[in-house]
Amino acid sequence: MVGIAVLGAGRIGKIHATNVASNKSARLIAVADPYASAAQSLAGALGADAMTDCEAAIDRNDVQAIVIGTPTHTHISLMLRAVRQGKAVLCEKPIDLDMAKSLEAVEEVERLNGRVMLAFNRRFESTFAAMRAAIDAGEVGEVRQVIITSRDPGLAPEDYIRHSGGIFRDMTIHDLDIGRWLLGEEPVELTAMGSRLVDPALMEKYDDYDTAMVQMKTASGKQCHINNCRNAVYGYDQRIEVFGSKGMLLQDNLRPTTLRRWTQDATDAREPLLNFFLERYQQAYKAELDAFIEALAQNKPLPTTVQDGLKALRLADCAVESVNTGRAIRV
Amino acid sequence: MVGIAVLGAGRIGKIHATNVASNKSARLIAVADPYASAAQSLAGALGADAMTDCEAAIDRNDVQAIVIGTPTHTHISLMLRAVRQGKAVLCEKPIDLDMAKSLEAVEEVERLNGRVMLAFNRRFESTFAAMRAAIDAGEVGEVRQVIITSRDPGLAPEDYIRHSGGIFRDMTIHDLDIGRWLLGEEPVELTAMGSRLVDPALMEKYDDYDTAMVQMKTASGKQCHINNCRNAVYGYDQRIEVFGSKGMLLQDNLRPTTLRRWTQDATDAREPLLNFFLERYQQAYKAELDAFIEALAQNKPLPTTVQDGLKALRLADCAVESVNTGRAIRV
Amino acid sequence: MVGIAVLGAGRIGKIHATNVASNKSARLIAVADPYASAAQSLAGALGADAMTDCEAAIDRNDVQAIVIGTPTHTHISLMLRAVRQGKAVLCEKPIDLDMAKSLEAVEEVERLNGRVMLAFNRRFESTFAAMRAAIDAGEVGEVRQVIITSRDPGLAPEDYIRHSGGIFRDMTIHDLDIGRWLLGEEPVELTAMGSRLVDPALMEKYDDYDTAMVQMKTASGKQCHINNCRNAVYGYDQRIEVFGSKGMLLQDNLRPTTLRRWTQDATDAREPLLNFFLERYQQAYKAELDAFIEALAQNKPLPTTVQDGLKALRLADCAVESVNTGRAIRV
Amino acid sequence: MVGIAVLGAGRIGKIHATNVASNKSARLIAVADPYASAAQSLAGALGADAMTDCEAAIDRNDVQAIVIGTPTHTHISLMLRAVRQGKAVLCEKPIDLDMAKSLEAVEEVERLNGRVMLAFNRRFESTFAAMRAAIDAGEVGEVRQVIITSRDPGLAPEDYIRHSGGIFRDMTIHDLDIGRWLLGEEPVELTAMGSRLVDPALMEKYDDYDTAMVQMKTASGKQCHINNCRNAVYGYDQRIEVFGSKGMLLQDNLRPTTLRRWTQDATDAREPLLNFFLERYQQAYKAELDAFIEALAQNKPLPTTVQDGLKALRLADCAVESVNTGRAIRV
């Protein structure tokens, strides 16, 4: 039985806390959030202690593992505090928006042999996982090209855009991780393109982009393309294609039902997509949490590490540099 | 080189004449139709003689084969005239709406060793043919159930309904033939159901139905379901499912393009279906004509015979009897 | 808070007990099963009392509602015991295999104003529910034809077949309920066909069938076709088509992921289907239980009643009679 | 009636000559090819004159238009000879592999007001044309991203690779044209990536690539991604996605039939793709030729021009430069 404290009682904290509560090898000890009412309401519903001091939650003797779902700028200090006490951590992405700080934190984690899993939830989604398994089983032979389509249903609020670190660090970064993971090799070269097509004024204001493309290549020549947009009217668009020497794997979107409509105007029409990541990756969040706890319970290596976080951030930084310089960047 | 006369210059005659003209082993000698202008216009465009006397066209020395596309009540006399002269015939369905007359004609054709192919064009359509080939190759093991969906895009004009012989003889009959053909055994029992849902008044007037279901069974227990409707707003709906001990084959409809539309309201929406049989089975008509000519040129057995016509008509008659008596009919 | 006892700790009892435990308006008081170890293990995992006496479980003061998941022949006596004490019941199908006993039980339930919901779980599945909602919203206009495909992945064990009441009462009955529900009118005429194609010897032994077709019609002429087979190699096949004057609705099967494979031999290939009803209708069982509890908590009418059970059984009996007599049966 | 000479009796010449012969507003006067037997056999089958001298065919008085399907290095001289005599030309891509020569030729054509249509056949394919029409109709709002997948079924023979001008000029060039056409604006920036994954030795030998990605951007920020591979085991892969502010359009591949197979191992599996461009774009070649003849017959502007050829070649050259320099290229 692993005693767990969840830090952060926002929407992502809620998901993690609920999943902890339903995992049979774990016990939800505490939910901590400076907003007392948020902590109270979430902890109360799940029969855990509510706390307002995240550090105190880390320090508890009955807590062996920490799930960090607090704002990005708090990740490093909470993570390191837990690691220093020998506690395992599942931390939401990214480690930090700043590369130098992230690097320093990773070095500290590794010096201390800390057990920190970065929350790349998509890797645990059933179709993503089936894709990786099919590649491992040799079904497509040698991977040649990975095509990732990833578009949000709607523009995030200005407040989010202001602090997001830009499209490459807040949105593309998930796809860069999936790209690395499916290529099975590290990208060594990357080019990116950014446009302002959804809300040019807002993007201009924050020196950001709402529409982007990235292409990258590994040392052996495997290629990956990513396309992003902050707004797709038909819903949260998440598709992947893995093309190899023996075949291809395609992943489609999820919809609420399998219904298809036939009318005078159209045939075979399906419903709009599940709206956003909380619905789309609901199963993935649970599988991710279960994998974390299983690794702890069975003393196995964690499925993702802070190095994964660092590498994804490094690729995002290269994308920013590529847009700024108009060059392919050596990673 | 087979010299061919096409009888009937209506829409089905046009298709046959054009296909004859484009077949390299055949020569279109004449187009005959009592409507001189129709014969003229079609024959002229294809470089053949226009005639108003169908019998005279049959009698020509340079004609070795006849394609009959005239009204149903003329089929038997034209077919027999050609057979008596030792000429091959491709005749549109049905032989006749009357079973007794049809039976007599078939006996005469067989007594004379006549070469008459009944125009069951669907059997030659590429997906239908691929289904039959897949069954023959054992892909689905033993066939257990055949499900046929067949709905017209819109109600035919009253004039057609008046003389059609009723939904089972004008519409279901095509599906009864395909059912027999895909089951690979003769049905021995049949039940039918008729409703008046599209135009009750018109159907009542002609003691006909616009919506129908049939189920039938072979001696070994293989089952077939057919559903029909004289009106489907989304187009001419032609789907088939063959379910067997080792798997299933599905046939989808055809659309003008492969385009799929994604909007705020729907995803993956395809175009309405190709409107009606002339567009849907365009390729089938050509393949049917080519098969007829190839059989003649190579002196091979014709792919369908008057017996097929008789058996389909017999099943249609059973359907009528079943609706009238509320019983399963032994075929 | 509704106190609930679940009777039966088999696979269906497990599902219901788990769903009760996760429903926030209900409390799982007890699990009762004559097999003490089954009751113990299920109750223990969910923090409820384990009992071996179902009647005693019904009689408890802290129990306001009963979920019956015991063998069919016990349904009536448990249901009536609960009703006589004014307790609400969610009872698995069927009421009983015998029509006369069922009728008597229903009369008794109604005389006592008993609140009994029959567990037609499919009606609560998200796509089924979306279909019914789309019909209600007028999306397909007037319903004309309903086509139901329902095939099991594999033959049930002989022990199940022996007591099942035959294919029409153990398998078709679910589709007969869905047919009634989607037609929106009572069928007045029904014809059925049975074959022995999967395991003829076993079917012969129990005078049963493994492959069946049914067609039925309402007074206004709406038609419904059902096809069943006790074995489909590609998995548990559950598809529905609703065809109406303004369009059509199709429901597809569920698969574990959205992956599509492209190889030298095939393109766009999907995974085999979710294996059987426990996986396929997992969400439906939960939604059904939630609907039951919501109706109790808010004192609303139950979404299904014993009348639904009676009518489905009546249709199944007509199917048996039709196969035996070779006639269309007036319901 | 437009008199037409087809130059070149290879596989592309055969297609054009056959399509000319079946067009009712044109007459196939001559087929010219230095290989006398090829010219003879094609011309003979279609009732035209066979010639071995292409220039003499251009010069004939009964010829008003020329279709050029000869090797690339002959395009310019034949095109200009025809233009100087005031004859219209439909010329296969590219104008020439060399940019400077192409530019010079285009200037000469324009100085002479020559009527030359470059054979960008895909624009005439029914689904491509429907996509362009849907964009024009405003169905997707403002176009934001165009994603083009284009993979050959198998590596071309070494002899072809040697003279092809490299993957960007022989393969990507078609997609660059379609990209320009669907974006509706000229790309101003382009980055490309090349890999050697299919046959590294052969690609090394000719300083070529077999796997490539391109991304490009217009002045207003619209983006386009292209991926290519010289080998896809599942067939000739041609897919397009147009994503805009109001929705998305997807184009799928073509297969011989609509059959879907369900077995123990997979469900919904479709056939491999139509093998290569001659089958895949058969309808497009005919529609292209018909559009050429219609423009001549009705004295309308030609649907594509030498400028389109020049612009596609310019983009291909930029791709080569980008791969060589590792930079985004300003077009």
Of D139, D256, D259, which is closest to B261 when you measure between CB atoms? D139
Partner-chain contact B253 D258, CB within 8 Å: yes
| Residue B115 structure tokens | 């070469």
Closest chain C CA to residue B228: C145
Mutate to test the interface with A, among C24, C122, C253, C258 (most CBs of A within 10 A): C258
Q: Over the stretch A129-155, which tens digit does the pLDDT of each residue have?
A: 999 999 999 999 999 999 999 999 999
Burial readout B281-301 (b: 16 or more C-beta within 10 A, e: otherwise)? bbebbbbbbbbbbebbeeeee
Partner-chain contact A195 D221, CB within 8 Å: yes
Q: Is the dihedral of CA D163, D167, D171, D174 positive or negative?
A: negative
Partner-chain contact C266 D263, CB within 8 Å: no
Least confident span in A209-213, A326-330, D53-57:
A326-330
Tell whether B253 is within 8 A of chain A (Cβ): yes
pLDDT score for C153: 96
Q: Do residues B60 and B5 touch, judged by C-beta distance below 8 A?
A: yes
Q: Tell me the pLDDT of chain A averaged across its residues.
A: 96
CB atoms within 10 A of CB D202: 16
Alpha carbons within 13 A on the beta-carbon side of B179: 32
Q: How confident is the model at residue D196 (pLDDT cuts 50, 70, 90)?
A: very high
Q: How distant, in Å, are the alpha carbons of A196, B321, C31, C33, C75 from that of C6?
A: 58, 52, 5, 9, 13
Using a CB-CB distance cutoff of 8 angstroms, which residues of chain A are in contact with residue B231? Answer: none
Closest chain D CA to residue C271: D266
Average pLDDT over every residue of D307-311: 95
Tell whether B245 is within 8 A of chain C (Cβ): yes
pLDDT of residue B102 exceeding 90, the answer is yes
Per domain, the residue ranges of chain A are 2-119, 123-276+311-330
Using a CB-CB distance cutoff of 8 angstroms, which residues of chain D are in contact with residue A229? Answer: 144-145, 243
pLDDT score for B276: 84
Partner-chain contact C235 D267, CB within 8 Å: yes
Q: Tell me the pLDDT of chain B averaged across its residues.
A: 96
Q: How confident is the model at residue D23 (pLDDT cuts 50, 70, 90)?
A: very high
d(CA C288, CA C303): 9
Q: How distant, in Å, are the alpha carbons of A291, D14, D115, D279 from that of D285?
A: 55, 11, 19, 10
pLDDT score for C276: 84
pLDDT score for D268: 96
pLDDT score for A206: 97
Q: Tell me the pLDDT of chain D averaged across its residues.
A: 96
pLDDT of residue D330 exceeding 90, the answer is yes
Q: How confident is the model at residue A104 (pLDDT cuts 50, 70, 90)?
A: very high
pLDDT score for A279: 87
Partner-chain contact A227 D229, CB within 8 Å: no
pLDDT score for D21: 93
Instruction: Name residues of chain C where pLDDT drops below 70.
Output: none
pLDDT score for B1: 87
Q: How many CB pairs under 8 A join C and D?
A: 51
Largest CA distance in chain C: 66
Tell whether B270 is within 8 A of chain C (Cβ): no
Using a CB-CB distance cutoff of 8 angstroms, which residues of chain C are in contact with residue B222? Answer: 195, 197
Using a CB-CB distance cutoff of 8 angstroms, which residues of chain A are in contact with residue C257? Answer: 126-127, 130, 251
Of B262, B265, B269, which is closest to A268 when you measure between CB atoms? B269
Using a CB-CB distance cutoff of 8 angstroms, which residues of chain C are in contact with residue B229? Answer: 144-145, 243
Q: Over the stretch B48-75, which tens digit does the pLDDT of each residue have?
A: 999 999 999 999 999 999 999 999 999 9
As a residue count, chain A comes to 331
Q: How confident is the model at residue D1 (pLDDT cuts 50, 70, 90)?
A: confident
pLDDT score for A24: 87
Report cis status (omega within 30 of 0) of the bond before A94.
yes
pLDDT of residue A303 exceeding 90, the answer is yes
pLDDT of residue A267 exceeding 90, the answer is yes
Closest chain D CA to residue C265: D272
Edge-to-edge strand ranges of the sheet holding A237-244: A329-330, A187-195, A211-218, A223-229, A143-151, A237-244, A247-251, C260-262
As a residue count, chain B comes to 331
Using a CB-CB distance cutoff of 8 angstroms, which residues of chain A are in contact with residue D142? Answer: 197
pLDDT score for A1: 87
Closest-CA distance of chain A to residue B254, Å: 11
**Among A214, A236, B266, which residue's Cα sits nearest to residue D250?**
B266
**Among C319, C303, C154, which residue's Cα sits nearest to residue C224?**
C319
Q: Do residues D253 and D273 touch, judged by C-beta distance below 8 A?
A: yes
Q: Over the stretch A115-127, which tens digit does the pLDDT of each residue have?
A: 999 999 999 999 9
Partner-chain contact C258 A252, CB within 8 Å: yes
Partner-chain contact B229 C217, CB within 8 Å: no
Q: Over the stretch D107-147, which tens digit does the pLDDT of each residue have?
A: 999 999 999 999 999 999 999 999 999 999 999 999 999 99
The model's pTM: 0.95
Partner-chain contact D139 B249, CB within 8 Å: no
- In words, the CATH class of domain B123-276+311-330 is alpha beta
Q: Do residues C249 and A262 touch, judged by C-beta distance below 8 A?
A: yes
pLDDT score for B278: 84
pLDDT of residue D320 exceeding 90, the answer is yes
What secondary structure does DSSP assign to C257-297, as a single string? ---EEE-SS-BSBBPPPP-SHHHHTHHHHHHHHHHHHHHHH
Find the distance separating the first CA and the last CA of chain C, reported in whole Å. 42
**Among C155, C270, C230, which residue's Cα sits nearest to residue D263?**
C270
Q: Over the stretch D236-291, which tens digit does the pLDDT of each residue have?
A: 999 999 999 999 999 999 999 999 999 999 999 999 998 888 888 999 999 999 99
Closest chain D CA to residue A327: D327
Mutate to test the interface with D, among A143, A149, A185, A191 (most CBs of D within 10 A): A191
Tell whether C49 is within 8 A of chain D (Cβ): no
> Please, which residues have CB within 8 angstroms of residue A178's CB and are 6 or more apart in sequence?
A120, A122, A123, A128, A148, A240
pLDDT score for D113: 96
For chain C, list the contacting chains (3+ Cβ pairs, <8 Å): A, B, D
d(CA C273, CA C262): 18
Closest chain C CA to residue D267: C270
pLDDT score for B42: 96
d(CA A146, CA A217): 10
Average pLDDT over every residue of D165-186: 96
Q: Do residues D140 and D134 touch, judged by C-beta distance below 8 A?
A: yes
Alpha carbons within 13 A on the beta-carbon side of B266: 18
Is CATH 3.90.79.10 what the domain over B2-119 is classified as, yes or no? no
Q: Over the stretch B140-177, which tens digit does the pLDDT of each residue have?
A: 999 999 999 999 999 999 999 998 899 999 999 999 99
Q: Do residues B280 and B274 touch, judged by C-beta distance below 8 A?
A: yes
pLDDT score for A290: 96
Tell which D residues from 129 to 158 touch B, by Cβ distance under 8 Å: 130-131, 134, 139
pLDDT score for B178: 97
* AA letter at C54: C
Closest-CA distance of chain C to residue D228, Å: 17
Closest chain B CA to residue C329: B326
| Residue D316 structure tokens | 């291909």
Q: How distant, in Å, are the alpha carbons of B177, C82, C144 from that of B118?
A: 11, 67, 33
Of C139, C254, C268, which is closest to A258 when you measure between CB atoms? C254
Q: How confident is the model at residue A276 (pLDDT cuts 50, 70, 90)?
A: confident
Look at strands B237-244 and B143-151 and give their pairing.
antiparallel
| % pLDDT > 70, chain B | 100
pLDDT score for C279: 87
Partner-chain contact A213 D211, CB within 8 Å: no
Closest chain B CA to residue C246: B233
Tell whether B271 is within 8 A of chain A (Cβ): yes
Q: How many CB pairs under 8 A join B and D?
A: 74
Closest-CA distance of chain D to residue C238, Å: 13
pLDDT score for D275: 84
pLDDT score for B221: 98
d(CA B221, CA B73): 36
Closest-CA distance of chain B to residue A237, Å: 11
